[in-house]
Amino acid sequence: MSQTSNVYFTDMRVHSNESIPLKLQRLIEAAGMETIDFEGKYTAIKMHFGEKGNLAFLRPNYAKVVVDEVKSLGGKPFLTDCSTLYVGMRSNALDHFDQAMENGFSPYSTGCQIIMGDGLRGTDDVSVPVEGGTYVKEAKIGRAVMDADVFISLTHFKGHENTGFGGALKNIGMGCGSRAGKMEQHYAGKPTFDADICIGCGNCLKSCAQAGAITIHERTEQERHDLQRRFEEQGLLTARGTIRSAPARYATIDHEYCVGCGRCLGACPVGAIKAAWSDDLNDPLGFKIAEYTKAVVGGRPCFHISIVIDVSPQCDCFGRNDAPIVPNIGMFASFDPVALDVACADAVNAQHPNPETELTEHISAHGTSSGDYFSDLAPSTNWRTYMKYAEQIELGSTSYRLVEV
């Protein structure tokens, strides 16, 4: 039988002479974060800075509470995240920083710097052995994440279309993977190249360590003519509003030599390289996330905080967020990320659904709830299976004791 872990909780109610930031400070102090030796230690605080168009992300005020506490204990904190696998505002460091600033994150609002975990293009990673790993033997983790002496996760708990919910493990395991690491977790093959989008810049070739995997080709005059005509017929414009010009070169990939590392994904400036997404993620994805999480947290002091508010039905990586499926619940903290996730999921399932949400639509369509809101929203998922797997690989315990602060 697994050991029972303590998970500390406080709700979102405040009274005179108190505030939500003060309650969060009391929570992490009661949970024992101060027992970690922070003196002179670089401390990575992993969080999601919010996707463009999505307003469910955690405000920077929550980060500042954690930053100030680490500083008061002598630590050297920084906020961090890694590049996304999909092309968007968080697929490279510069755009990611711009989006973070647009969402209010800066040294002035949080009290510390942001450091990109996997570098400029999402390719600066280190291979970290996963002890006892079944799906992953060496996880590809952002270098700056692994360079830190202490690791803290600050998570917005919400639903997720492939894992049931996005909690601490999702924030850590998937979130700390470089672009190659994210591809490994979503892996269903090797990347493909869209020759019509490719501009033949050669960045992918420079990033590829496998001789013969990528080749740059010259287009013939006829090929350029035909491509230009397609651009004009489709009205494909540049950022300046002019019709795109057919590039003279394009790249192809030979899967016989490609090892599926995904580094070319981070190197491409125009999104011409596509990841091979799996049609059947779910359990294998959750198991890989658990293994990646173990790679991140193993061998150093760690602490985990989850804020269960604005519980949107899908991941914060979408450029939108639907109405919260349940009322705001509160803030949770623990040294055990598995127990923390289970406690947050149980807390959500104990609530009455908010009316007129995606959850109530699903329940109405089926006549009843399955008893688990995350399964109602994403019927092909089963979060309990990968929580059990996380327990099996000794990442944490699914058994917890809730301590109210």
The pLDDT confidence band at residue 1, using thresholds 50, 70 and 90, is very low
Give the span between the Cα atoms of 153 and 168, in whole angstroms. Answer: 7
Mapped onto helix, strand or coil, the DSSP state of residue 392 is helix
Beta bridge partners, 151, equal 44, 302
pLDDT > 90: percent of the chain? 68
Average pLDDT, the chain: 91
Can you tell me the mean pLDDT for 270-284?
Answer: 66
pLDDT of res. 381 = 86
Mean pLDDT lowest among 267-271, 327-331, 349-353: 267-271
How many helices (H) and strands (E) in the chain?
15, 16
Q: Considering just the CA atoms, what is the radius of gyration of the chain in Å?
A: 22
pLDDT of res. 258 = 82
Q: Which of 89, 4, 38, 67 is nearest to 338 (CA)?
A: 4
Can you tell me the mean pLDDT for 24-48?
Answer: 98
Mean pLDDT lowest among 121-135, 259-273, 336-350: 259-273
Reply yes or no on whether the pLDDT at 298 is more than 50: yes
pLDDT of res. 240 = 65
What letter represents residue 132's amino acid?
A: G
Reply yes or no on whether the pLDDT at 78 is more than 90: yes
The pLDDT confidence band at residue 377, using thresholds 50, 70 and 90, is very high
The full set of domains in the chain, from first to last, is 5-188+280-404 (3.40.50.11440), 192-274 (3.30.70)
Reply yes or no on whether the pLDDT at 383 is more than 80: yes
The pLDDT confidence band at residue 287, using thresholds 50, 70 and 90, is very high
Can you tell me the mean pLDDT for 87-105?
Answer: 93
Can you tell me the mean pLDDT for 177-184?
Answer: 90
Cβ contacts of 240 within 8 Å, gap of 6 or more: none
269, HSE (Cβ side, Cα atoms, 13 Å): 7
Reply yes or no on whether the pLDDT at 294 is more than 90: yes
Give the span between the Cα atoms of 212 and 254, in whole angstroms. Answer: 7
If one counts every other C-beta atom within 10 angstroms of the C-beta of residue 320, the result is 12
What letter represents residue 311's amino acid?
A: V
The pLDDT confidence band at residue 192, using thresholds 50, 70 and 90, is confident
pLDDT of res. 86 = 74
pLDDT of res. 188 = 56
Mean pLDDT lowest among 52-61, 185-194, 196-205, 357-366: 185-194
The pLDDT confidence band at residue 255, using thresholds 50, 70 and 90, is confident
pLDDT of res. 257 = 80
pLDDT in tens, 201-241: 998 888 786 788 899 999 998 988 888 888 888 876 665 66
The pLDDT confidence band at residue 277, using thresholds 50, 70 and 90, is low
Can you tell me the mean pLDDT for 171-194?
Answer: 86
Mean pLDDT lowest among 25-29, 105-109, 214-218, 378-382: 378-382
Reply yes or no on whether the pLDDT at 52 is more than 90: yes
Can you tell me the mean pLDDT for 100-109?
Answer: 97
Can you tell me the mean pLDDT for 86-97?
Answer: 88
pLDDT of res. 179 = 87
Biggest alpha carbon distance in the chain? 75
If one counts every other C-beta atom within 10 angstroms of the C-beta of residue 115, the result is 18
Local structure of residue 362 (DSSP, 8 states): H
| Helix residue spans in 237-322 (DSSP H) | 263-267, 282-297
Give the span between the Cα atoms of 355 and 353, in whole angstroms. Answer: 6
The pLDDT confidence band at residue 269, using thresholds 50, 70 and 90, is confident
pLDDT of res. 278 = 53
Which residue would you say has higher pLDDT here, 179 or 401? 401
